[in-house]
Amino acid sequence: MAVPTTLPEWPPSLTEEQHSHLILLSSSYALSHGFTLLPPSSSNPPTSAISAPLSLLPTPFPRGLYDLAVSLQPLYNALYARITLDWEFLDRVMGGSVSKVDTFQGELWRGWKSIREELVQPLQLGLFRSDYLLHDSETEGMSIKQVEFNTIAASFGALSQRAGEMHKYLSKATNGYFSVSPHLTNPANFPPNEPLKNLASGLAEGWKAYGKKDAVILFVVQEGERNVFDQRWLEFELLERDNIPVIRHTFSELSTLAKIDPTTKNLLLPSPLEPSSPAREVAVIYYRSAYTPTDYPTSSEWSTRILLEKSKAIKCPSMALQLSGAKKIQQVLSEPGVLEIFLLGEDRPDVGFGVGAGSLTQDDVDRLRLTWIGLYPMDNSELGRKAYDLALDEPEKYVLKPQREGGGNNIYRENIPGYLKQLEEESRQREEGEPEKKEGYILMELIEPPKGLRNLLVKGGENKSRLADIVSELGVYGVSLFGGDGDKEQIVNTTAGTLLRTKGRESDEGGVAIGISSIDSPLLVD
């Protein structure tokens, strides 16, 4: 779906005094409402915080495309749940060349394969985020194109809600941003957005499905996490609204604490603070770690991940669900007929209200496919050889992606040919019959965001803004609880809110914590 939207000139003109007042109000609001990060150097426990990188004004976004992205999320939830339950598909895609050339994905797939026949918890929980960029085509107008689908550690839900609340506050406190634009004076242009509430509800649904009132939710976190407030808000919401306690531990802590009852397979965690108290039973394991190789510096972390996977606790995500979010899965889905198999196939498992087997149409499939841009394998198939030639002959049109999450891993434009040559040199040392290093990557056509849009961005901890040509990435959150015994009362499939991250156009990569991207909110325009 493309729309003929022309985005307004942005930002509207502000006087120096108006600008300074907005800086004061936004900084005060952020610090007062936990719209914050830890500073780069922080003590433990922390004694200070800085406002998260933010935009001084919300960023214009086409209303029709925003509504489309939100409406598609239940379909994406169902799609990735079905992929996760299709072991044969995961084995074919992730157990092939990817697992042989990508050490991290190989460890994940082999670990899951080694224990999957002995898993005792059929339910799986996904807190997803589907990320999109606006794509501006001279011939087709403006559309949204999917960047990636995140199945693990989809962050910034809480801070995204705070960003939208902050922009609404600024509008109310300044008579619609001093009435400098008619777009800023209409409350209907500020969409409701409650990902904190909805993601916490998703975790609570998993806890309820587990069925033990005295059980806890375990957050598996990274050492020295700067985005701790985004996580703590989920913890506060669960405890204050649902009376569900949360326990936080790193992999290294869990390696000595976590135990599985040999009879019940319950995951038990003794409290280091109350050694004489009974160990707490874990209902849900929520990973805000475990998505990058640096989270597994030794074999001990992998052993701990396997131990947790074998427990009765509901995983968010399971190892299979994490595998489903790989870039290679995204590329294979774009091949002719694959999406139809998952969404229209009669033998597909029923994984959600309103999107069960037989309830989808070709129109649903087409709407999803319209959000995709060119994706190619980097293998030796006919399509893979075509992709290799494209990458060498027209690198300015593409990005080369490894099977990684978290940003900072992609190879862009003119850097692609040299990088492929480097991979070729490394592949010369491979054993006979082994795949080439490049097969661990996919090639993606570059999305072309509209030009000429600007905004005022404030880096965390600073009292000034910079006017930047910007690119905004819209993320749509989803919750899916699936894989039970067919009892639909235990199945959840819902949209859970949105995230808008805005960065300067000069940067290919994002990153809120390092100050490249700002947490923004959309201003809907027709």
Residue 116 burial by Cβ neighbours in a 10 Å radius (0-12, 13-18, 19+): middle
Active site residue 397: no
Instruction: Average the pLDDT over 237-257 and give the result.
Output: 97
Statement: residue 5 has pLDDT above 50? yes
pLDDT, tens only, 361-384: 899 999 999 999 999 999 999 999
Statement: residue 348 has pLDDT above 80? no
Of 2-6, 71-75, 340-344, the one with minimum mean pLDDT is 2-6
Statement: residue 147 has pLDDT above 60? yes
Report d(CA 508, CA 60) in Å as an integer. Answer: 21
Q: Was 148 annotated as part of a binding site?
A: yes
Phi and psi at residue 315, to the nearest 5°:
-95, 140
Residue of 523 and 343 predicted with greater confidence: 523
CA neighbor of 30 nearest in space, from 158, 162, 157: 162
Active site residue 328: no
Instruction: Average the pLDDT over 343-354 and give the result.
Output: 66
Report d(CA 133, CA 453) in Å as an integer. Answer: 14
Of 16-25, 207-216, 400-409, the one with minimum mean pLDDT is 400-409
Residue pointed to by tokens 């996919």? 442
Active site residue 501: yes
Which of 113, 401, 437, 459 is catalytic? The answer is 401
pLDDT, tens only, 324-347: 999 999 999 999 999 999 998 866
Active site residue 148: yes
- Judge contact between 257 and 271, C-beta under 8 A: no
Q: How many CB atoms lie within 10 A of CB 256?
A: 11
Q: Was 173 annotated as part of a binding site?
A: no
Q: Was 434 annotated as part of a binding site?
A: no
Which of 55, 107, 148, 517 is catalytic? The answer is 148
Statement: residue 248 has pLDDT above 70? yes
- In sign, the C-alpha dihedral spanning 340, 346, 348, 351 is positive
- Judge contact between 435 and 321, C-beta under 8 A: no
**pLDDT tier at 487, thresholds 50, 70, 90:** very low
Supply the mean pLDDT for the chain.
Answer: 93
Of 212-216, 253-257, 312-316, 343-347, the one with minimum mean pLDDT is 343-347
Q: Which pairing describes strands 216-220 and 280-287: parallel, antiparallel, or unpaired?
A: parallel
Residue 307's pLDDT is 98
Report d(CA 516, CA 521) in Å as an integer. Answer: 16
pTM over 0.85: yes
Statement: residue 438 has pLDDT above 70? yes
Residue pointed to by tokens 């996760």? 84
Residue 406's pLDDT is 72
Active site residue 406: yes
Which of 55, 143, 155, 493 is catalytic? The answer is 155
- DSSP code for 57: S
Statement: residue 488 has pLDDT above 50? no
Residue 461's pLDDT is 83
Number of H helices, E strands in the chain: 17, 21
Q: Which pairing describes strands 50-51 and 517-520: parallel, antiparallel, or unpaired?
A: unpaired
CA neighbor of 223 nearest in space, from 260, 202, 253: 253
Which residues, in sequence order, are CB contacts of 217 under 8 Å at separation 6+? 203, 206, 207, 238, 244, 245, 246, 247, 282, 283, 284, 285, 286
Alpha helices in 116-194 (DSSP H): 157-173, 175-179
Q: How many CB atoms lie within 10 A of CB 33?
A: 15
- Judge contact between 504 and 469, C-beta under 8 A: yes
Which of 34, 141, 345, 406 is catalytic? The answer is 406
Report d(CA 271, CA 81) in Å as an integer. Answer: 34
Statement: residue 514 has pLDDT above 60? no
The percent of residues in the chain predicted with pLDDT above 90, rounded, is 84
Which of 501, 517, 518, 521 is catalytic? The answer is 501
Domain ranges of the chain: 16-373+447-525, 374-446
Q: What is the Cα Rg of the chain in Å?
A: 23
Q: Was 17 annotated as part of a binding site?
A: no
Active site residue 150: yes
Q: Was 130 annotated as part of a binding site?
A: no
Report d(CA 6, CA 8) in Å as an integer. Answer: 6
Q: How many CB atoms lie within 10 A of CB 89?
A: 18
Which of 280, 327, 438, 459 is catalytic? The answer is 327
- In sign, the C-alpha dihedral spanning 296, 320, 442, 146 is negative
Which of 27, 51, 150, 334 is catalytic? The answer is 150
Which residues, in sequence order, are CB contacts of 57 under 8 Å at separation 6+? 10, 11, 12, 22, 167, 170, 177, 184, 455, 456, 523
Residue 434's pLDDT is 87
Active site residue 327: yes
Statement: residue 513 has pLDDT above 60? no
Q: Which pairing describes strands 492-504 and 466-482: parallel, antiparallel, or unpaired?
A: antiparallel
Residue 515's pLDDT is 52
CA neighbor of 131 nearest in space, from 114, 121, 144: 144
Alpha helices in 395-456 (DSSP H): 416-427
Which of 205, 281, 301, 405 is catalytic? The answer is 405
Architecture of domain 374-446: 2-Layer Sandwich (3.30)
Instruction: Average the pLDDT over 413-442 and give the result.
Output: 91
**pLDDT tier at 522, thresholds 50, 70, 90:** very high
Residue 360's pLDDT is 82
Phi and psi at residue 167, to the nearest 5°:
-65, -35
Q: Was 509 annotated as part of a binding site?
A: yes
Q: Was 426 annotated as part of a binding site?
A: no
Residue 489's pLDDT is 44
Residue 516's pLDDT is 75
Report d(CA 163, CA 165) in Å as an integer. Answer: 5
Q: Was 288 annotated as part of a binding site?
A: yes
CA neighbor of 189 nearest in space, from 180, 176, 206, 178: 176
Q: Was 281 annotated as part of a binding site?
A: no
Q: Was 82 annotated as part of a binding site?
A: no
Active site residue 405: yes
Q: Was 253 annotated as part of a binding site?
A: no
Report d(CA 355, CA 495) in Å as an integer. Answer: 13
Which of 63, 129, 280, 438 is catalytic? The answer is 129
CA neighbor of 129 nearest in space, from 41, 29, 199: 199
Active site residue 506: no
